[in-house]
Amino acid sequence: MHRAVIHLNDAAPEKTQTVLQNTANLLAALGPETQVELITHGPGIAVATAPAAEELTTQLTGLLAAGVTLCVCQNTMAARRLTPTDIHPQAVVVASGVAHLVTRQSEGWSYLHP
Amino acid sequence: MHRAVIHLNDAAPEKTQTVLQNTANLLAALGPETQVELITHGPGIAVATAPAAEELTTQLTGLLAAGVTLCVCQNTMAARRLTPTDIHPQAVVVASGVAHLVTRQSEGWSYLHP
Amino acid sequence: MHRAVIHLNDAAPEKTQTVLQNTANLLAALGPETQVELITHGPGIAVATAPAAEELTTQLTGLLAAGVTLCVCQNTMAARRLTPTDIHPQAVVVASGVAHLVTRQSEGWSYLHP
């Protein structure tokens, strides 16, 4: 079984859309038991704050339904004065996005930054 | 012996040139027995489709002669309606570029995204 | 204990500032015994050449005091005709930035390219 963290620290809608599509392709290729965490921090947190563009929301909803975990960085939330009510209800808050990316790799997860 | 996957998902000629140069420097530093796969997907497939700028072609030819494997993503080929005849004859087609990047890391390969 | 290499190959001050901030956040989250190498090559060497913007210098000084290692690529120095006197006195010169990133991962270090 494969495990991968995907790094998103960019808010541009086209970039975000690409990363979500890459994530969908990854799952399709490696199978539904693959563990994937989409880890957002800095500007990348935009994908987890409402309202997003409708197309992105649809893509994200599909990934969450397929078992992808959406992680948001608490440091970023604090810097932007965001509270849990500002964040996607299915998002998981991690203390630090970059630390989570490092920790997961030390546990054997692969890293992708599209 | 070192093994590395290099991630290319950008079509800009300057970026591509940089990635090819980074790959050449990597081989020069780690020695000719190093295994390197240049994994292209999305816009990054441009380096593997003809015609490319002459300077890029020369760089790529040198890397292939030095044993680098050029991988192209079948998902990207399908999305762009590219057939094998559109692709560099020495390229290796992988089912999914992102999945290949994850799989290689799980096999112990290092990851670089310049 | 965590070990991470952070890849910087961009000279843009905003990007550099972000990477330095990410590095500080990483250390704060994982603890002071964490080993972090900031590996610069290509345009990213700018952070290690004087004079830099004052804000970047302050950030970098703080990271070095916290135990982060600043690595600069000898290939890049040669290509830009830089000598050790052009480089931050605390910087460590590595033969090849990309090779060092690969080698560290093969030794179990995590990789981040913000």
Q: CA-nearest residue of chain B to A5?
A: B102
Interface contact C75-B25, CB threshold 8 A? yes
Half-sphere exposure of B45 (CA within 13 A, CB side): 25
Q: Does A35 touch chain B (CB under 8 A)?
A: no
Half-sphere exposure of A113 (CA within 13 A, CB side): 22
**Which residues form the domain of A76?**
3-112
Please give the pLDDT value at position B29.
97
- Identify the band that residue C41 occupies on the pLDDT scale cut at 50, 70 and 90: very high
- How many whole angstroms separate alpha carbon B102 and alpha carbon C3? 20
Q: What is the mean pLDDT of residues A65-78?
A: 98
Contact list, C9 vs chain B (CB under 8 Å): 18, 114
Contact list, A95 vs chain C (CB under 8 Å): 29
Q: Looking at the predicted structure, is the pLDDT value of residue A85 above 90?
A: yes
Q: How do residues A9-42 score in pLDDT, each as one tens digit? A: 999 999 999 999 999 999 999 999 999 999 999 9
Apex C40 CA angle, C38 and C41, nearest 5 = 160
Please give the pLDDT value at position B54.
79
Q: For residue B96, which phi and psi values (nearest 5 degrees)?
A: -145, 125
Please give the pLDDT value at position C72.
98
Q: Looking at the predicted structure, is the pLDDT value of residue A56 above 90?
A: no
Given phi > 0 = left and psi -120 to 50 = alpha, else beta, which region is A108? left
Identify the chains in contact with B, defined as 3+ C-beta pairs within 8 A: A, C
Closest CA to A25 of A40, A17, B81: A17
Contact list, C22 vs chain A (CB under 8 Å): 41-42, 98
CATH of the domain at B74: 3.40.1260.10
Please give the pLDDT value at position A1.
87
Interface contact A110-B111, CB threshold 8 A? yes
Residue A89 amino acid letter: P
Interface contact A102-C22, CB threshold 8 A? no
Domain total in chain A: 1
Return the beta strands (E) in B9-99 as ranges. 35-40, 69-73, 92-94
Please give the pLDDT value at position A52.
61
Q: Provide the token pair at A83.
A: 């509270």
C64 with C90: CB under 8 angstroms? yes
With a cut of 0.90, is the ipTM above it?
yes
Please give the pLDDT value at position C54.
80
Give the Å distances, CA to CA, from C5 to A8, B40, B57, B78.
18, 23, 31, 35
Nearest to B2 among C75, C102, C113 (CB): C102
Q: Does B7 touch chain A (CB under 8 A)?
A: yes
- Identify the band that residue C62 occupies on the pLDDT scale cut at 50, 70 and 90: very high
Closest CA to A42 of A11, A20, A15: A11
B97 with A112: CB under 8 angstroms? no
Q: Give Cβ neighbours of residue B31 (< 8 Å, ≥ 6 apart).
A: none
